[in-house]
Amino acid sequence: MTGWSMLPLLAVMLPVLGMVLAPALGARGAERLTLALLPVGFALALGTAAAVQALGVPLVHHLGHWTPPLGLALGADGIGAAMLLTSTVVVAGVAVFARAGFGTSLGMPERRAAFAFWPLLLAIWGGLNLAVTARDLFTLYVALELLTFAAVPIVCLDGRRETLAAALRYLLFALLGSVLYLLGVALIYGAAGTLDIGLLAGRLAATPPVLVAAALMTAGLMAKTALLPLHLWLPPAHAGAPAAGSALLSALVVKGSFVILVRLWAGVLPPSPAAMQALAGCGAAAILLGGVAALAQTRLKLLVAYSTVAQIGYLVLMFPLLAVPGVAEKAWTGGVLQAVSHALAKSGMFLAVGLMTERLGHDRVADLAGASRVAPRPLLAFGLSALTLMGVPPSGGFAAKWLLLSTAIEAGQWWWGLVILTGGLLTGGYAYRVLSAALRAGPAAAAPLPHDSRDTVALGLALLALLLGMLPLASFGLLQIGRVGP
């Protein structure tokens, strides 16, 4: 345990402390505290990534000097460090963006939505950081609780009847997921006597209790990740939330349960090729059906929400490839890159859509004409994000999808390659629908466009997703650190 191992822990406690203090500080104080914590959080995430890369082994911190199985461990490996950086960047972008809607200027009375928004943002930040760094299955359950209880109220922050219904549906799916996961955790403790991920590695045999636990936990995490067929809650929830909230939900919240699913199947649970094929089959169905549904949407926000359903499908395509020697390493990089690039691109896209909706006064896809006049920079951000989602070079999405495609073929599982190609076409289709409508001439803009710093945030996130593809792949050696498997 070195001094560096404290960094991921501090990256978790920083937003949690901020969330706890937020109600006492009030809306204005919480907003200023959040903005002050952003650079600190970024330094901690960057320091974690640098330390993991430099040391070449995962960082592990033993809480209170108690070692597992009695105590708890928390730390960062490659995927953990990458997700810490991603969450910090997305949260920072969303926080700066949200000041316009949820900010409280001096002397302004405290508003309900502003009082709630900042601690919910901090809780999502802390919850995701915990989900990617905790090394104990029950601590991971607490991370899921933090994420759920922060994400659900964000959906209905405006208090409209439809968003309340969407939030309630989300809550029911998410609670079902929590219960199933917790049941599985209890069974695993009964079978192995420990919940530490490191100690469980290779210790679980495929006995009936472990298999039931595997099925329960996988189903629970699928519900939380919104993997088809348990995705029904996602479109109304992600489309109903305010733009800043949608960006957090689509970019970060669903990734927390995904990383836990990865940790379970790559290292803890006994390998099961059939289950991996089934999981990736759900992913393939999500890519195809989500893409078709996105094509059919008439509202822009719902279209982007269905696009999330499809993009989540790509995440799980790596599972059947992780057991194949020789390609596992590349498939792993592809899967993690997909999580990171989708987080950046989708947060940029949701923020851009929020700005376009605000300036046009509606989000009907058919009536987007003139958007290029009133919201040129958000439209550009939408287009750049779409490049990543489609997988067009040189974006991060291209690198991710290319790695998944080529490893699928190398592993002799060519059918996933077909799905990836078809999914790219469908994504191109719905992105084209939006862009072609938005580029039509509409009513001339009445006044010159005022400068809006939120445009820069949306563009910045989309550009980061694009630039991710230009990093030389060798630098992703970071992602391999701590990976369990062939």
Which residues contact other proteins by CB under 8 A? 1, 3, 6, 9, 13, 16-17, 19-24, 26, 61-66, 69-72, 74, 110-113, 115-116, 119-120, 123, 130, 136, 138-139, 142-143, 145-146, 149-150, 152-153, 156-157, 159, 183, 187, 189-194, 207-209, 212-213, 215-216
Q: Least separation, in Å, of the C-beta of 424 and other proteins?
A: 35
Give me the least distance between CB of 287 and other proteins, in Å please.
26
Q: Which is nearer to other proteins, 70 or 444 (CB)?
A: 70
Amino acid in the structure at residue 346: K
Q: Of 225, 372, 384, nearest to 311 (Cα)?
A: 225
Show Cβ contacts of residue 168 under 8 Å, excluding neighbours closer than 6 positions. none
Q: Of 198 and 320, which CB lies nearer to other proteins in the complex structure?
A: 198
- The minimum distance between CB 192 and other proteins, in angstroms, equals 6
Quote the CA–CA distance of 84 and 15 in Å, as a whole number. Answer: 12
Question: Is the CB of 27 or the CB of 355 nearer to other proteins?
Answer: 27
Q: How far is the CB of 202 from other proteins (least distance, A)?
A: 15
DSSP 249: I
Query: Minimum distance between the CB of residue 26 and other proteins, rounded to whole angstroms?
Result: 8
Pair of tokens at residue 84: 């810490």
* Cα(41)–Cα(20) distance, integer angstroms: 16
CA quadruple 72, 74, 79, 85: dihedral, nearest 10: 150
Calpha distance 171→151 (Å, rounded): 9
Quick one: tokens of 11?
Answer: 């990256």
Distance in angstroms (rounded) separating the CA atoms of residues 155 and 404: 32
C-beta closer to other proteins: residue 120 or 304: 120
| Residue in 238, 256, 254 with CA at minimum distance from that of residue 246 | 238
Q: How far is the CB of 61 from other proteins (least distance, A)?
A: 7
In the complex with other proteins, the residue whose CB is nearer, 139 or 347, is 139
Residue 149 beta carbon to other proteins: minimum distance, rounded to whole angstroms: 5
C-beta closer to other proteins: residue 85 or 150: 150
- Angle of helix 453-467 versus helix 396-410 axis, rounded to 10: 30
Least CB distance to other proteins at residue 270 (A): 15
Angle formed by the axes of helices 137-155 and 254-263, nearest 10°: 160
* Cβ contact 144:178 at 8 Å: yes
Nearer to other proteins, 143 or 282 (CB): 143
Specify the long-range contacts of residues 374-378, CB closer than 8 Å, at least 24 apart. 374/442, 374/445, 374/449, 375/455, 376/449, 377/455, 377/456, 377/458, 377/459, 378/351, 378/352, 378/353, 378/455, 378/458, 378/459
Query: Closest approach of Cβ 56 to other proteins, in Å?
Result: 22
